[in-house]
């Protein structure tokens, strides 16, 4: 039986690495520090999984034939756990209902309302960096300061909570552990077969206890007892959705359960914390290595810098956008995105003579990191070249080769919010400090093991007040 299963892709003439019984290729994928570039098919516990990097086929998967790829693979044995209720993993019907409730929290108008809160967090970031340099000099490891900024901004925008002023708050005392739980849960449920993940011992790896501790006792119960309608944060949008029962405004949308509110609130932090901190940290690392790019960015932002700078001005800075876009290309938040077929489907590309039949239930993965580093799409992909993304050059970027937030209906709902956090942090740091690469330190980025999020170790930089 195993021989028949593991020869599935060979029988349909699709190449890939040699799998092993039970685990297939999952161990090699999960523990490899850099994502595969040439991979085309893999096996997860004997289940065929296809990796598609051809842009024309990626378009079909994410957009054109979305109705056939509308689900993401459910976590192994986790039908009743927190992860399966999150937008990133929820079955299509649940995803559609929850996204309709959560979407208003990320409109342009809501982001403008959040801007002053985030700007205040950025000024706190600058003050902390100032104090650090004054007390200990350089070099400075920037990531801890960036993480503190992201945590503060997320706490205020999601829950109207000033986490930095409460030293006993969970988000202040246990941030790294808090966010490592979901990644550890994902790794464990990926490496262990479903029969083991369903075992009662797996409770040690599930993060259900976190939301009971944080939300049930501290936040939701309290809001239902006070005048919480005055708040305009992410949690309040979700709680308003829990009261929607008649579907008058959205006839095809019903309410949201408390468990689903917990899940989206947890996801807001997980998806906003590590990926955004990574993006800001990687961007500052590249700016320290490329002083000419740093000077161009500082010049552009200085021309628009004033105390009344707002969302609209920030969005009209082309070189800032190019720097962030190139950072997201070189260091995408996620290594891959995935979809699961809901029925048999054939993907075709007549220009290249491609025709691939995919059976119902097969997981199709789009290797974002590999696509972003393919020299056919981005010449000299290891180089940091923001000019690729200037308005006059964007036409050179092939459609569906730039996917930091996915694409199609199931793209990242918080994309604009994440970009706002990133851009505002970069503008504030660049306007107050000059960044220099520390001589005799390794300029390369050391990627950590894992195949979900692009994580890395970054060398400290020298900071000088402008």
pLDDT at residue 1, as a whole number: 42
Helices 258-289, 143-159: crossing angle, 10 deg rounding:
150
Three-class SS of residue 358?
Answer: strand
Structure-token pair, residue 263: 């899940």
Whole-Å CA distances, 385 to 81, 98, 334, 405 = 42, 38, 20, 20
Quickly state the pLDDT bin for 455 (edges 50, 70, 90): low
Check pLDDT > 70 for residue 118. Answer: yes
Q: Is the distance from CB of 343 to CB of 68 less than 8 angstroms?
A: yes
Task: Judge whether 412 is annotated as a binding position.
Answer: yes
pLDDT of residue 328: 98
pLDDT recorded at residue 179? 52
Residue 343 near residue 294, CB atoms below 8 Å: no
388-397 pLDDT, tens digit per residue, is 999 999 999 9
Secondary element (H or E) of residue 340 = strand 337-340
Residue 131 class from Cβ within 10 Å (0-12 exposed, 13-18 middle, 19+ buried)?
exposed
At residue 77 the predicted structure's pLDDT band, cuts being 50, 70 and 90, is low
Task: Report how far residue 49's alpha carbon sits from residue 358's, in angstroms, rounded to the nearest whole number.
Answer: 10
Task: Note the pLDDT of residue 5.
Answer: 43
CA-CA distance, 246 to 26, in Å (whole number)?
45
Find the angle CA(116)-CA(435)-CA(301) to the nearest 5 degrees: 45
**Top-confidence range, 1-15, 150-164, 175-189:** 150-164
In the chain, the percentage of residues whose pLDDT exceeds 90 is 41
**Torsion angle (degrees, nearest 10) of CA 289, 295, 296, 298:** 110
Looking at residue 446, its pLDDT comes to 72
pLDDT band for position 299 (cuts 50, 70, 90): very high
The DSSP bridge pattern shows strands 461-465 and 433-437 to be antiparallel
Query: Cα–Cα distance between 428 and 426 in angstroms, integer?
Result: 5
**What is the C-alpha end-to-end distance of the chain, expressed in Å?**
67
Nearest residue to 404 via CA among 276, 225, 231, 281: 276
Which of 282, 260, 264, 225 is CA-nearest to residue 435? 282
Q: Which residue has the higher pLDDT, 346 or 159?
A: 346
Domains and CATH numbers, the chain: 52-465 (1.10.630.10)
The answer, yes or no, to whether residue 25 has pLDDT greater than 50, is no
Helix and strand tally (H, E) in the chain? 19, 10
Q: What is the pLDDT of residue 352?
A: 77
Residue with tokens 């060398």: 459
Which of 47-51, 102-106, 261-265 is predicted with the least confidence, judged by mean pLDDT? 47-51
- The pLDDT of residue 213 is 55
CA distances for 219 relative to 108, 370, 457, angstroms: 26, 41, 34
């Amino acid at each position: 039986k195993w021989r028949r299963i593991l020869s599935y892709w060979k029988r349909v003439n699709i190449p890939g690495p040699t799998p092993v019984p039970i685990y297939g290729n999952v161990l090699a994928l999960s523990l490899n520090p850099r994502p595969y570039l040439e991979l085309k098919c893999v096996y997860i516990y004997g289940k065929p999984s296809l990796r598609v990097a051809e842009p024309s086929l990626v378009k079909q998967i994410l957009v054109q034939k979305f109705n056939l790829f509308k689900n993401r693979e459910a976590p192994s044995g986790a039908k009743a756990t927190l992860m399966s209720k999150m937008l990133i993993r929820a079955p299509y019907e649940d995803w559609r209902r929850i996204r309709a409730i959560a979407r208003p929290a990320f409109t342009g108008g809501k982001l403008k309302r959040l801007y002053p809160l985030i700007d205040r967090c950025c000024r706190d970031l600058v003050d902390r960096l100032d104090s650090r340099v004054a007390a200990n000099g350089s070099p400075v490891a920037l990531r801890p300061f960036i993480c503190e900024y992201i945590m503060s901004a997320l706490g205020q925008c999601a829950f109207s909570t000033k986490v930095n002023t409460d030293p006993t708050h969970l988000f202040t005392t246990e941030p790294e552990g808090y966010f490592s739980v979901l990644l550890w849960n994902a790794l464990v449920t990926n490496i262990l077969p479903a029969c083991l993940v369903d075992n009662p011992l797996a409770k040690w790896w599930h993060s259900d206890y976190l939301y009971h501790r944080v939300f049930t006792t501290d936040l939701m119960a309290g809001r239902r007892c006070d005048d919480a309608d005055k708040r305009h944060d992410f949690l309040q949008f979700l709680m308003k959705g829990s009261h929607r029962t008649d579907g008058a405004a959205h006839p095809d949308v019903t309410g949201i359960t408390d468990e689903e509110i917990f899940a989206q609130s947890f996801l807001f932090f997980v998806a906003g914390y590590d990926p955004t901190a990574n993006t800001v940290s990687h961007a500052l690392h590249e700016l320290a290595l490329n002083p000419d790019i740093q000077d161009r960015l500082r010049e552009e932002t200085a021309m628009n810098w004033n105390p009344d700078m707002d969302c609209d001005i920030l969005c009209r800075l082309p070189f800032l956008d190019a720097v962030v876009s190139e950072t997201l290309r070189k260091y995408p938040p996620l290594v891959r995105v995935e979809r699961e077929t809901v029925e048999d489907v054939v993907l075709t590309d007549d220009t290249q003579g491609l025709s691939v039949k995919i059976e119902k239930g097969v997981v199709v993965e789009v290797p974002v990191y590999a696509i972003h580093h393919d020299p056919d799409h981005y010449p000299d992909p290891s180089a940091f070249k923001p000019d690729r993304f200037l308005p006059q050059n964007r036409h050179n970027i092939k459609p569906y080769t730039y996917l930091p937030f996915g694409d199609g209906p199931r793209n990242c709902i918080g994309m604009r919010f994440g970009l706002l956090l990133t851009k505002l942090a970069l503008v504030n740091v660049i306007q107050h400090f000059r960044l220099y690469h520390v001589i005799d330190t390794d300029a390369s980025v050391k990627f950590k093991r894992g195949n979900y999020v692009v994580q890395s170790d970054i060398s400290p930089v020298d900071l000088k007040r402008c």
